[in-house]
Structure 1
Amino acid sequence: EFGVIGLETLLPLSLELYHTGMVPLLPLLACLTCNPAKLLKQDTGRLAPGAPADLLVFDLDTPWRVDEKKFRSKAKNSPYDGRRLQGHALRTVVAGETVFQRKREI
């Protein structure tokens, strides 16, 4: 069996910290991008000339409800099923190529 999915809820669950005023947006995003890259000694997680064009375009504010049946992952388990969240990924670009584009379903 596939385990609990975190990939599709990491960003919106993290954004709760921003929306509740607990963490400013830029430090929060650093915890999800450049800080892990630094810990792993990777030259990624940042936008700079010559760096890989890896980025995420996201909607900061749109509310939605977690529905594990709609996950794109093979894992369909989530302790957050039914929970209302705010914000979600719209597009993921890796090395300059779009690898994910959200459909207008939320």
Structure 2
Amino acid sequence: MSNKKPKVKKAVTTESVKADRARRAAQAANQRKDKDKITSREYWKGVKTEMSKVVWPTRKELGAFTVVVICTCAVFALGFWAVDSGFLAILKAILGVTLS
């Protein structure tokens, strides 16, 4: 037979749990702060690496995307003009407001 005493667990309180979590969060934040410090050379090296991963559109795709953007802008411009004209017509009819 062994002479080991059974382990007795400490009573866990919400305060001790909160304090433990706060301590661990502070340690993690300090570790992240140390890891986040990079030199400008490392930064630009990372930028170059990420830019090499970019998939650039072909000339044909770029033309198609440009047409879509211009058409979308035109549709929204016409829509805003129509709503604005409608509100102006309503104000003229109800209040008799005129714009010079």
Q: Fold-level match, TM-score > 0.5?
A: no
Structure with the largest fraction of strand? 1
Q: Return the index of the structure with the highest Cα Rg.
A: 2
Structure with the largest fraction of helix? 2
What TM-score, normalized by structure 2, do the two folds share?
Answer: 0.16
What TM-score, normalized by structure 1, do the two folds share?
Answer: 0.16
Larger relative contact order (C-alpha < 8 A, sep ≥ 6)? 1
